[in-house]
Amino acid sequence: MRSSGRLRIALAALVLIGGGALTAAPARAIPIFAQRYHLTCGACHSVLPELNAFGTYFRAHGYRLPLPTHATSIFAIRYQMAYAKNPPEGTRRWTPGGILLGSANFGPITAFIHYNLGAGGGPSALYLGYLATYNAHTRSLYRLGLFELPLLQSPGQRLDDLQQYGYYGTHVGLNDLPLSSPRWGLQAERTIGDLRVDATAALGAYQGSAYGGKPLATGENTSSARPELGLWLDQTLAQGPLEFDAGGEALEGARSIVQSGGKTFTDPYARGGLLMHARWRGLDLQAEQFWGTDRNADGFGTLQRSAGGYVRLKYYPIAHAYVGVRYDASANPLVSRDWTYYAAGMIAPVRLLLQEVQVPGGAPSLGGAMTIAFPGSLSF
């Protein structure tokens, strides 16, 4: 990374941290859940849209708390203006985008939607939409509909920067289903002591981008050939000043691929991974590594292997600001690597982010974004 890039990130970190410190007094939050339970932005978010420990607990309990509820908007808007100093050919330097978040309770059922409003030439589309319920007696959460896979880092909802994470967006051969695509199906999550277990069963997947993006014609149509099954384990190993957890992930399915020339074939695939997360004071270290196998990647019986992951280190000098560095790598079989250096801070319902992506042997790419959340007008 060039010294000028390091200087920009360092200066941005000082500005964001200083702004966060000046606005550290609690501010009334405005989107849905804060209104419903009279919370503040910082109750659930470290830096919007990233969740802190309480926000993660709240989400894992079906967006329910044992507290009185209040009249609230049933939807909120999250708007983002992103900037890229050197945008890829055919894209914009300034890219506006937004999503609509909606939630309503019906007895023990919570309905949740995440609808992207289009960006970068892409159409509006439903990104997440599910019904959820939490059983406090068995410590179990169930989601039915269009949900994200329970990866260690949310690939579309709670991103801490603008860069794709490691292996999450990887396509293998003509199989265009990455880990980052939400699935249509059922997710069941249960906490047993300090172990969290997730099981997923999916019959379809979302095809697109969380914040839009112009669709690319590939010449193939793909769909699920049989239900995709997944198992996800995350074990807490230490609590206290040092927090540490580790686990594993496994996913298996088959993709039906129809080429423009009329040839149809099935690609049985598997993905497996390991994860770890450690936190000590203001330091946060997180890593995931995946390995994949596609038994018919191109329709000619070709066995193709893939691999990739990331290592991320962040430092929180205050609760609502961080600086971070992440190394990403993937091979499918083409190898790609990059370093992302970034800093972000939250002032009430606004996030300011600056990042620089460095590809080995290439020029650094500077970018940033301002993200803001505000409520809709309908309430109940």
Strand partners, 32: none
What was the pLDDT predicted at 25?
37
Instruction: Give the best-scoring range by mean pLDDT among 19-33, 110-124, 126-140.
Output: 126-140
What was the pLDDT predicted at 37?
83
For residue 91, how many other CB atoms are within 10 A of its CB?
A: 12
* Distance, CA of 347 to CA of 20 (rounded, Å): 6
**Is 261 a residue whose pLDDT tops 90?**
no
* Secondary structure (H, E, C), 301-330: CCCEEEEEEEEEEEEEEECCEEEEEEEEEE
What was the pLDDT predicted at 31?
74
Q: 3-class DSSP state for residue 41?
A: helix
What was the pLDDT predicted at 358?
94
Q: Max Cα separation, the chain?
A: 62
* Distance, CA of 222 to CA of 296 (rounded, Å): 14
What was the pLDDT predicted at 124?
81
- If one looks up domain 3-375 in CATH, what number appears? 2.40.160.10
- Is-cis flag, bond preceding 49, omega within 30? yes
From residue 81, how far is each of 161, 367, 369 by CA, in Å? Answer: 13, 11, 5
With cut-offs at 50, 70 and 90, classify the pLDDT of residue 4.
low
- 4: Cβ contacts below 8 Å, ≥ 6 apart: none
**Is 5 a residue whose pLDDT tops 70?**
no
* Distance, CA of 128 to CA of 156 (rounded, Å): 10
**Structure tokens given for 140:** 């179990």
The mean per-residue pLDDT over the stretch 226-232 comes to 97
**154-163, pLDDT tens digit by residue?**
988 888 998 8
| Spatial CA neighbour of 332 closest among 361, 366, 309 | 309
Contact yes or no for 44/37 (Cβ under 8 A): no
What was the pLDDT predicted at 320?
93
Quote the mean pLDDT of the chain.
Answer: 86
* Distance, CA of 18 to CA of 13 (rounded, Å): 8
* Distance, CA of 301 to CA of 284 (rounded, Å): 43
**Is 54 a residue whose pLDDT tops 90?**
no
Strand partners, 98: 79
**Is 350 a residue whose pLDDT tops 70?**
yes
pTM, rounded to two decimals = 0.87
User: Between these two residues, 210 and 124, which has the higher pLDDT value?
Assistant: 124
What was the pLDDT predicted at 23?
41
User: Between these two residues, 77 and 73, which has the higher pLDDT value?
Assistant: 77
**Is 82 a residue whose pLDDT tops 80?**
yes
**Is 170 a residue whose pLDDT tops 50?**
yes
**Structure tokens given for 244:** 């540490």
The mean per-residue pLDDT over the stretch 221-240 comes to 95
With cut-offs at 50, 70 and 90, classify the pLDDT of residue 26.
very low
Which range (80-94, 105-119, 164-178, 292-306) has the least confidence? 80-94
With cut-offs at 50, 70 and 90, classify the pLDDT of residue 14.
very low
User: Between these two residues, 46 and 284, which has the higher pLDDT value?
Assistant: 284
Percent of the chain with pLDDT over 70: 87
With cut-offs at 50, 70 and 90, classify the pLDDT of residue 11.
very low
What was the pLDDT predicted at 370?
93
With cut-offs at 50, 70 and 90, classify the pLDDT of residue 27.
very low
What was the pLDDT predicted at 33?
82
User: Between these two residues, 173 and 260, which has the higher pLDDT value?
Assistant: 173
With cut-offs at 50, 70 and 90, classify the pLDDT of residue 376.
low
Query: H or E element: which one contains 16?
Result: helix 3-22
With cut-offs at 50, 70 and 90, classify the pLDDT of residue 65.
confident
Strands (E), the chain: 75-84, 94-106, 109-116, 125-135, 140-147, 183-192, 195-205, 220-238, 242-259, 264-280, 283-294, 304-318, 321-331, 335-347, 350-358, 365-375
**Structure tokens given for 169:** 């967006």
What is the domain partition of the chain in residue ranges? 3-375
**Is 207 a residue whose pLDDT tops 60?**
yes
- 330: Cβ contacts below 8 Å, ≥ 6 apart: 166, 167, 170, 306, 307, 308, 309, 336
User: Between these two residues, 3 and 59, which has the higher pLDDT value?
Assistant: 59
**Is 91 a residue whose pLDDT tops 80?**
no
From residue 333, how far is each of 88, 172, 288, 330 by CA, in Å? Answer: 23, 8, 19, 8
The mean per-residue pLDDT over the stretch 305-314 comes to 97
